[in-house]
Amino acid sequence: MKFAVIRFPGSNCDRDMLNAIIKAGGEAEYVDYRETSLSKFDGVLIPGGFSFGDYLRSGAMASVAPITSAIKEAAADNKPVLGVCNGFQILTEIGLLPGALIFNDTHTFISRNETLTITNNETPFTSQYEKEESVVYPVAHGEGHYYCDDETYAQLLKNNQIVLTYTDNPNGSRNDIAGIINENGNVLGMMPHPERALEALLGSDDGMKLFERMTEWEAEHDYIH
């Protein structure tokens, strides 16, 4: 499996993301945001950071970058697409995931290790985790409050699209939502950083199973029941 790590100006977790997927046994290359094709890749990783300085609104400028249509094509081709932190914000901005990320309720940046629950272990990303498994991933964001309207929330519940929730909600996210997946099960977005949770020495290795699973990607159609 060969992954593209998308680099926008202002991305700053690009190296961490590349290192993570390689450590898990995958191949990876950086792809500049001015590129227009991702056809030679089997999966797409959108790293955290402050794409275009998060000026205007986080993820907003990235959503009109040349690479965006290629990301949408990859998603439509059933390739795995993972967006972490700023990557999650971009996925909501370009409409691959529903809802939006707004300012933390405290209106301050929050950086700490967060305990999370894997609420859906039936996705092709999370099937190595136990159901309701408790994991620790770091969070580091200023705009991480997941917001959606009632109708969207009902859809998320009905389709079992909520993958990850906070134990001690740091930002005011609706119903503790930390990560969601698309209906098709191949586009996952989350605010916490699994790529920073690969070694016990650094505080947690709970993210490893996510990346390992991605390197053995087999799209499971209709996984949502």
**Site residues for other proteins per CB under 8 A:** 9-10, 12-13, 15-16, 19-20, 48-50, 52-55, 108-112, 138, 140, 142, 193, 195-196, 198, 200-203
| Catalytic residue selected from 85, 93, 141, 145 | 85
Q: Give catalytic status of residue 85 as yes or no.
A: yes
| Catalytic residue selected from 93, 143, 145, 193 | 193
Considering beta carbons, is residue 50 or 223 the nearer one to other proteins? 50
Least distance to other proteins from the beta carbon of 52, Å? 7
Considering beta carbons, is residue 48 or 80 the nearer one to other proteins? 48
Q: Give catalytic status of residue 221 as yes or no.
A: no
Considering beta carbons, is residue 17 or 188 the nearer one to other proteins? 17
Least distance to other proteins from the beta carbon of 55, Å? 7
Q: Alpha-carbon distance 157 to 70, whole Å?
A: 29
Q: Alpha-carbon distance 136 to 197, whole Å?
A: 7
Least distance to other proteins from the beta carbon of 102, Å? 18
Q: Give catalytic status of residue 151 as yes or no.
A: no
Least distance to other proteins from the beta carbon of 206, Å? 14
Say if residues 214 and 208 touch (Cβ distance below 8 Å).
no
| Catalytic residue selected from 93, 114, 143, 195 | 195
Q: At CB < 8 A and 24+ separation, what contacts does 206-210 make?
A: 206/135, 206/136, 206/137, 207/20, 207/135, 207/137, 208/23, 208/24, 209/126, 209/128, 209/129, 210/125, 210/126, 210/128, 210/129
Considering beta carbons, is residue 41 or 52 the nearer one to other proteins? 52
Q: Alpha-carbon distance 84 to 211, whole Å?
A: 12
Which positions are catalytic? Answer: 85, 193, 195
